[in-house]
Amino acid sequence: MKTMKSRGPLSKSLSKTLPKGLGAVRRKTVTAAREYVRSEPLLATGPLPLKIEPAVDGVDLTNWAASHRERLEKDLLEYGGILFRGFSISSVEAFEEFVRTVGGPLLDYTYRSTPRSEVSGKIYTSTEYPQDRWIPLHNEMAYSRQWPMKIAFFSVQVAETGGQTPIANSRRIYQRIDPTVRQRFSERGVLYVRNYGDALDLPWQTVFQTSDRGEVEAFCRQADIELEWRSGDRLRTRQVCPAVAHHPVTGDPLWFNQAHLFHVTSLGAEVADSLLATLGEEDLPRNTYYGDGRPLEPEALEEIRTVCREESVLFPWQPWDILLLDNMLTAHGRAPFTGSRKVVVGMAEAQSHADA
C-alpha cells in the first residue's frame, strides 16, 4: 500500500522558459515576468482568493507556472488560495500536468474519509456526498497526522445552481475562535474514533486501499493509530491528533482539525439521534472527543461552526477554473447544488506534524 512521502524543499533552480507563443523575451524583473497575466483579488470583500488570468492571448498556464513557481509560492503564502481563470486548460490530463508542475508528484488518496473515484492517474472526483447537503469547511486530511500541503480543484462541469467550493482563512478561524475553547483543544488535541464495515460509512478496504489486514495493521502502527478487529470483518480505529498546527513556512498558528466535521452532531439532530438510538455511541461510524477521551461540549462545537460559517468565502465556478490552495492556510467545503456538477481534485507535497 502506498503512503505519502515526506515533503521536500522547494527547488531553488526554477525554469526560465517563457510561455509558448509569447516570443523570446528575457525576464528581467517580476513586473516584466508577470505582464503576460494580471492578478487581483477576485472579490471586493477580501483578499481570498487571488485571481490570476491571462493578460494576452496564447498564455500556456502550465508553462507560465513552471517559470514562476517562486512567485506562485509567495502568492499562496500571502493569500492562501489562487483562482486561475480564463486559461486554455480544458482536460483532466492537462490539469494533472499543471498540478505536477506547481506541486511535484501527485499523492495517493490513502487513509480515506470520504467516497471518491479515481478519474485519471492520481486525480480524483471531489467528495461524492448527496448533492443536497453542505460539506462543512475543513482542511484536507486534517484528521490525520499526514496531509497534502497543496490541493487543487478543477471545474469540469458547473452545476445548474449552487455547487460552490466555500473557502476560508485558517489563520482567521484560529484567531476568532473563543480563546477558552481554543486553549482546551490546543492542550488536549482531538481523538478520532471510526468504525468501518457496518454499511453506514466507508468499508476499511476502501479507507486503506487494501484488503490485506496485515497491510492495514502496518499502516496503523506507523501512523500511531490504535485498531481493533471486530466480528463480521469490522474494524475500529482510534487516533489522537493535534487540533492546532503551525505553518512550516510562516509559523502562523492555524485551526487544523476536523473535530466539528467528524462529530456525530455534524449530521444534524434527527440523524444523530437516530444513529445513537440504533447503534449506541461506541459503534457510531465516526465521532470525535478531546484527546483525553472527554466529550466535546455542544457549545464549543457551535462556536467552531459559527466562526467557520462567518469566515466562508463563496464564488460561482466558471468552466475550466482551477483553484489552488495551501491546504494548511485555507479550508474548503462544498455547497449544495442542483443539476450535474463535476469538480476533480489533485493533491501534492506531503506534510506532517513532525515536519511542521
Query: Domain holding 114: CATH number?
Result: 3.60.130.10
Same domain membership, residue 128 and residue 81: yes
Same domain membership, residue 346 and residue 261: no
Counting every residue written for the chain, the total comes to 356
Same domain membership, residue 347 and residue 295: no
Residue 11 has pLDDT above 90, yes or no: no
CA distance 327 to 6: 16
**Band of the pLDDT at 23, cuts 50, 70, 90?**
very low
Of 349, 320, 347, which is closest to residue 118 (Cα–Cα)? 347
**Which of these ranges, 82-96, 100-114, 278-292, has the smallest mean pLDDT?**
100-114
Four-point Cα dihedral 207, 211, 212, 216, nearest 10 = 10
Residue 6 has pLDDT above 50, yes or no: no
297-321: b (≥16 Cβ within 10 Å) or e = eeebbebbbebbeebbbebebeebb
Same domain membership, residue 304 and residue 181: yes
Asked, for residue 289, whether it belongs to a domain, the answer is yes
**Band of the pLDDT at 120, cuts 50, 70, 90?**
confident
Asked, for residue 234, whether it belongs to a domain, the answer is yes
Stretch 216-226: mean pLDDT: 95
Asked, for residue 332, whether it belongs to a domain, the answer is no
Query: How high is the pLDDT of residue 12?
Result: 35
Asked, for residue 255, whether it belongs to a domain, the answer is yes
Of 289, 287, 298, which is closest to residue 191 (Cα–Cα)? 289
140-155: b (≥16 Cβ within 10 Å) or e = bbbbbbbbbbbbbbbb
Q: How many domains does the chain have?
A: 2
Same domain membership, residue 191 and residue 297: yes
Same domain membership, residue 271 and residue 187: yes
Number of Cβ within 10 Å of residue 267's Cβ equals 16
**Helices and strands (DSSP H and E) totals, the chain:** 11, 19
Q: The domain containing residue 282 runs over which residues? A: 173-308
**Edge-to-edge, what's the strand order for the sheet holding 226-230?**
226-230, 234-241, 190-196, 286-290
Structure letter (DSSP) for residue 233: T
Same domain membership, residue 193 and residue 127: no
Asked, for residue 18, whether it belongs to a domain, the answer is no
Residue 40 has pLDDT above 80, yes or no: yes
| Angle, CA of 14, 120 and 139, to the nearest 5° | 70
Query: How high is the pLDDT of residue 70?
Result: 95
Asked, for residue 275, whether it belongs to a domain, the answer is yes
**Band of the pLDDT at 229, cuts 50, 70, 90?**
very high
Residue 24 has pLDDT above 70, yes or no: no
CA distances in angstroms from 61 to 157, 174, 282, listed in the order given: 20, 34, 50
**Which of these ranges, 53-57, 112-116, 243-247, 322-326, has the smallest mean pLDDT?**
112-116
Q: Model-level pTM?
A: 0.86
Number of Cβ within 10 Å of residue 4's Cβ equals 21
Same domain membership, residue 204 and residue 114: no
Residue 114 has pLDDT above 90, yes or no: no
Same domain membership, residue 152 and residue 190: no
**Band of the pLDDT at 35, cuts 50, 70, 90?**
confident
Residue 197 has pLDDT above 90, yes or no: no
Asked, for residue 261, whether it belongs to a domain, the answer is yes
Q: Which three cell numbers stand for residue 132?
A: 443536497
Given a contact cutoff of 8 angstroms between Cβ atoms, the answer to whether 262 and 290 are in contact is no
Query: How high is the pLDDT of residue 115?
Result: 63
Query: How high is the pLDDT of residue 308?
Result: 97
Asked, for residue 41, whether it belongs to a domain, the answer is yes
Residue 21 has pLDDT above 50, yes or no: no
Burial degree of 334 (CB within 10 A; 0-12, 13-18, 19+): buried
Same domain membership, residue 304 and residue 177: yes
Query: How high is the pLDDT of residue 1?
Result: 44
**Edge-to-edge, what's the strand order for the sheet holding 330-334?**
135-138, 330-334, 167-169
Query: How high is the pLDDT of residue 200?
Result: 73
Stretch 95-109: mean pLDDT: 94
